[in-house]
A and B are shown apart, each in its own frame.
Chain A
Amino acid sequence: MEAFVMVLTVFVLAIFVGFEVITKVPPILHTPLMSGSNAISGITLIGAILSSGAKLTLLTTILGFTAVVFATINVIGGFLVTHRMLGMFRKKD
């Protein structure tokens, strides 16, 4: 129970931090915000790495492998396309 309250605390505080930070993002950057935050939610990749690397059963290895693929697409695709988009926002000359 103690441990659960600890992670719950982290969760609730992080949501508040999220609200504070995200409300400061201007509307013109809302699309890069979505793709960039998508890349960040690809953090499940680390869970996927642990599952596929543990080599416990064939099932968990397959699940882990598929999860690594999905999450890597998220991470690489997300950060890269955000970079590409943000590079287009230029001030006048």
Chain B
Amino acid sequence: MNPTLINLAYLIAAVLFIVGLKGLAHPRTAVRGNMIGALGMLLAIVVTLLDQHIVGYWVILAGLVVGSAFGVLLAVKIKMTAMPQMVALLNGFGGGASVLVAGAAYIEIIYQGGAAGRQLTISTAASGIIGAVTFWGSLVAFAKLQEIMPGKSILVPGQQVLNALLGGVSAGFGVWLVLAPSDVWTYWVLVAVASVLGVLVTIPVGGADMPVVIALLNSYSGLAAAATGFVLNNNVLIIAGSLVGASGIILSQIMCRAMNRSLGKVLMGMTESGGGPGEGEAIYEGRIKSTTAEELAMIFEAARRVVVVPGYGMAVAQAQHAVRDLMNLLEERGIEVEFAIHPVAGRMPGHMNVLLAEANVPYDKLKTMEEANPSFQQTDIAIVIGANDVVNPLAREASDSPIAGMPILNVDEARTVVVIKRSLSPGFAGVPNPLFARDNTLMYFNDGKKAVLDLVSALKEAG
């Protein structure tokens, strides 16, 4: 096929990607948007297969079949609670593919005795480094989320110095590759060093910081694809890669702002440690009011507006379907129910929304922090289920707290706050939560799912 036609087809594909992403601006148009994006991809793949440089189709076909089989299996089998792992894995494969494609293209040129210009060598080095960091970083993130590795922060002594050193060494090999393009081995050394860097950058990242890292790796996988586009001189790779790069950067920014943490601190595993274990006891002493399902059922009888605040704990307890039952029951009795979702609730951006959507909660009930906060004063009951730091008033009140300045959901403004939790243990930030000791807070100690199911049956009996 004529190269001009191929490039025109790539242009159409790039436009389809942009139109597709635009569709994601609303749940109503999102399904179509995703299909438009997929159509762009199909077009790009089909015209590439018609390229005259391709002489052997069996290897391609085999790769496509194997990849499709795995892809379909993953997409169909994955549970919605495991979506962060799935995205981590996909980020990794994207980064890995970039390393391999850039490497193969570079070797091809050297092998054919072609001139390796600066654009080729610099972008090959960039693709190798970013891609390898993405691949290994994502595998570590996957292992942590899947609980193959401990999810908490793992700190290696002298880590920051080591990371800087590894970054410097891989960049050094990058310079070598640029200056002496025929030394192909430098590429693999560079990839190896960047791989170690990818592992070391991700292992200090603990639980609640995961959303930032997944978003960042998402961005890297895009940037690696864009760098590969520079290697191949291919515009559609550059455009698609930079769209994804921009998307990941925006999401990481949103996540960092929502935790009032800098990207640097997240990556270095720096969690400002909270007060000692004794501090919580002093705050909670004699002020915790524990409640039961029966007692709550009576309070709900008088309620007109209820807001549910879900956190990662809801996903762990698989309580989302029980929460949906509670919502239905309350709505049957004329009580307004909404959900207030903090940007970093869960282990990836938007995680809670997907879980609730899967449980058939209509999306117009899912409110963002900005939408929900002004409404808590008119709320009779706020139910906090599996969330902790994102509703901690210390973030507003104590300037010396590790979570100071973090935007929170102001559930304490509701007439009554019901906190469903197993114990008084602190959240990821390791600080006690004075919300639990407030006059208008009732602690409902139980497993998330069982707590909601008991509440539903108590409501049915009372009603």
Show the binding face of A for B, using Cβ within 8 Å. Answer: 3-4, 7, 10-11, 14-15, 17-19, 21-57, 59-61, 63-93
Contacts and interface: CB of A to CB of B under 8 A. Distances in A.
Interface stretch (B102-110, B172-180, B376-384, B426-434): B102-110
Contact of B250 (A22, A55, A67): A22
B351 interface: yes
A24 B353 CA distance: 17
Contacts of A42: 41, 93-94, 97
Contact of A21 (B18, B98, B119): B18
Given A44-B98, A49-B45, A73-B71, A14 B59 contact: no
B250 A19 contact: yes
B104 A15 contact: no
B424 to A, nearest CB: 30
Contact of B105 (A43, A47, A66): A47
Interface string B24-49: 11111011011101100100110011
A26 B30 CA distance: 11
Interface stretch (B232-240, B264-272, B435-443): B232-240
B52 to A, nearest CB: 10
Contacts of A76: 67-68, 71-72, 75
Contacts, number: 378
B334 interface: no
A89 B76 contact: no
The 4 A-B pairs of least Cβ separation, nearest first, read A72-B67, A18-B246, A68-B63, A76-B71
User: Quick one: which of B49, B67, B254 has the most chain A CB within 10 A?
Assistant: B67
A69 B63 contact: yes
A68 B93 CA distance: 10
Contacts of B234: 46-47
A27 B423 CA distance: 30
Interface of B: 14, 17-18, 20-22, 24-28, 30-31, 33-35, 37-38, 41, 44-45, 48-49, 51, 53-57, 59-60, 62-64, 66-68, 70-72, 74-76, 78, 80, 83, 86-87, 90-91, 93-94, 96-98, 100-105, 107-108, 111-112, 118-119, 214-215, 218, 221-222, 224-226, 228-248, 250-251, 254, 341, 343, 348-351, 353-354, 357-358, 360, 362-366, 368
Nearest to B361: A90
Contacts of B107: 57, 59-60, 63
A31 B88 CA distance: 12
Max chain B Cβ within 10 angstroms of own Cβ: one of A4, A51, A63, A87: A51
A19 B22 CA distance: 11
Contacts of A38: 87, 90-91, 94, 218, 221, 244
B239 A44 contact: no
Given A38-B90, A63-B100, A77 B60 contact: no
A53 B360 CA distance: 46
Contacts of B368: 26-28
B54 A24 contact: no
A70 B90 CA distance: 9
A74 B94 contact: yes
A54 to B, nearest CB: 6
A37 B97 contact: no
Which has the most chain A C-beta neighbours within 10 Å: B22, B57, B63? B63
A7 B75 contact: no
A44 B72 contact: no
Contact of A44 (B34, B112, B237): B237
Contacts of B241: 41, 43
Contacts of B59: 52-53, 55, 61, 64-65, 68
Given A50-B54, A69-B63, A74-B71, A24 B25 contact: yes
A40 B67 CA distance: 15
A82 B221 CA distance: 17
B247 to A, nearest CB: 4
Given A70-B96, A93-B362, 17 more contacts: A4-B119, A11-B230, A19-B250, A31-B348, A33-B21, A36-B37, A37-B222, A39-B90, A40-B240, A44-B101, A47-B234, A56-B112, A63-B107, A77-B72, A88-B354, A88-B358, A90-B363
A36 B24 contact: yes
Contact of B100 (A3, A67, A79): A67
A70 B45 contact: no
